[in-house]
Chains A and B, each alone.
Chain A
Amino acid sequence: QVQLQESGPGLVKPPETLSLTCTVSGYSISSGYYWGWIRQPPGKGLEWIGSIYHSGSTYYNPSLKSRVTISVDTSKNQFSLKLNFVTAADTAVYYCASVAYCSSTSCYYSDYWGQGTLVTVSS
Chain B
Amino acid sequence: DIQMTQSPSTLSASVGDRVTITCRASQSISRWLAWYQQKPGTAPKLLIYEASSLHNGVPSRFSGSGSGTEFTLTISSLQPDDFATYYCQQYNSYSTFGQGTKLEIK
* A114, CB-defined interface residue at 8 Å: yes
Name the B residues within 8 Å of A47 (CB-CB): 97
Name the A residues within 8 Å of B45 (CB-CB): 113
B17 to chain A minimum Cβ distance, whole angstroms, is 24
How far is A59 from B46 in the complex, measured between Cα atoms in Å? 21
Contact-size category for B: 20 to 34
By secondary structure, the B interface counts as loop
* B62, CB-defined interface residue at 8 Å: no
Name the A residues within 8 Å of B97 (CB-CB): 45-48
Check B46–A114 contact: CB distance below 8 A: no
How far is A105 from B90 in the complex, measured between Cα atoms in Å? 12
Query: Within the complex, which residue of A61, A62, A105, A115 is in contact with B42, where a contact is CB–CB below 8 Å?
Result: A115
Name the B residues within 8 Å of A113 (CB-CB): 43-45
Check B89–A106 contact: CB distance below 8 A: no
Check A62–B96 contact: CB distance below 8 A: no
A23 to chain B minimum Cβ distance, whole angstroms, is 15
| A116 and B55 contact, Cβ closer than 8 Å, known pairs A45-B100, A62-B1 | no
Check B49–A46 contact: CB distance below 8 A: no
B100 to chain A minimum Cβ distance, whole angstroms, is 5
Interface residues of A in 80-108 (CB under 8 A from B): 95, 97, 100, 105-108
User: Which residues of A come within 8 Å of B, CB atoms?
Assistant: 45-48, 59, 61-63, 95, 97, 100, 105-111, 113-116
User: Which residues of B come within 8 Å of A, CB atoms?
Assistant: 1, 32, 34, 36, 42-46, 49, 55, 87, 89, 91-100
| In the complex, the 3 A-B pairs of residues with the closest C-beta atoms, listed nearest first | A113-B43, A109-B34, A48-B95
